[in-house]
Amino acid sequence: MSNIMINSRFGSPGDLCRLSMTCKKLKDFTAAAEDLWKAACAKQGFRYQASQGVWVPTKVANGWFAYYSTRMLVRWRVRTLMKRLRDFLPIDASSCFRPGLPAETLLLVESRLHCELPWEIWELYRYKDGQENRVEATFAYDGRLLALQEPVRLALIPFTDEFGSKRRYMFDLMGRIYLQSGFTHLLVADNLVAFLHSLLR
> 85-138, pLDDT tens digit by residue?
777 766 656 666 667 778 788 888 888 888 887 776 777 777 665 555 555 555
Instruction: Give yes or no for residue 45 having a pLDDT over 70.
Output: no
Q: Is 127 within 8 Å of 118 (Cβ atoms)?
A: no
The pTM (predicted TM-score) of the whole model is: 0.41
Q: Is the pLDDT of residue 163 over 50?
A: no
- Evaluate if residue 155 carries a pLDDT over 50: no
Q: Are 117 and 110 in contact (CB under 8 A)?
A: yes
Q: Which long-range contacts (CB under 8 A, 24 or more apart) does 167-176 make?
A: 169/195, 171/81, 171/195, 173/74, 173/77, 173/78, 174/77, 175/77, 175/81
> What is the residue type of 35?
D
Beta bridge partners of 184: 181
C-alpha of 140 from chain center: 10
Q: What is the mean pLDDT of the chain?
A: 66
User: Does the pLDDT of residue 156 top 80, yes or no?
Assistant: no
The residue extents of the domains of the chain are 3-62, 153-201
Query: Quick check: 193 pLDDT over 70?
Result: yes
Burial category of 28 from C-beta neighbours within 10 Å (exposed 0-12, middle 13-18, buried 19 and up) = exposed
